[in-house]
Amino acid sequence: MKPHSKYLSFALICIVGVAGIAAEMWWRRPAPAALLTTGSVLSPSRKLPDFSLIDQQGRAFGEANLRGHWSLLFFGYANCPYFCPTTLTTLAAMQARLRAEHAAVLPQVIFVSVDAKRDTPAQLARFLPNFDPGFIGVTAADQPSIEAVARKLGVAVSILPAAADGNYAVDHSSMILVLNPDARLTAILTGPFSANALRTDFQHIVAAPGALAGRS
């Protein structure tokens, strides 16, 4: 890689990292947060901005699909070499443990692809069952649209320069957003993630006083 390309990649990574930190601070800013092992509870919970996506079946996906369920939103992309598949594997293990324990509340896990060009609905439909057949995959019709939705949700996204073979990486915030059944942001999980830590933190979030505060 040429020196100027290295500097460009480093600069982009720094920008995305700073943007991710700033986004998380923006979500948290007005209220004190109760600490968890993997992140923080927001009190009060926050209303999500309007958004519109497409699920792995090609159907519209928006706030209505979040209502009535606890949800975990994780942002990534199918060609991610390490962090995304590792986190999806961890989320699948968490779900398996909750099912084995007959937990009263089982969240829906939603994988939000930030790579609209490659992660079509059909690709997500093939990709996610490798981890858990119950996982939901969503994306947008094009890259500007998914980046606009990500910004609304406080998630930084940056497409890095393509390699000689045309392949490219996508830098993105690695947090998991926890939404209550009123589709309100209730916690931000930043890791490090393990199946036990996620399971325990999720159960603490659900059981916390005021977990459903701010019902609309």
pTM as predicted? 0.83
| Polymer length of the chain | 216
Q: 153 — phi, psi (to 5°)?
A: -95, 5
Phi/psi at 58 (nearest 5 deg)? 85, 10
**Beta-sheet pairing, 108-113 with 136-139:** parallel
Query: Of the ranges 14-28, 52-66, 121-135, 158-172, which one carries the lowest mean pLDDT score?
Result: 14-28
pLDDT in tens, 24-66: 444 444 444 567 999 999 989 999 999 999 999 999 999 999 9
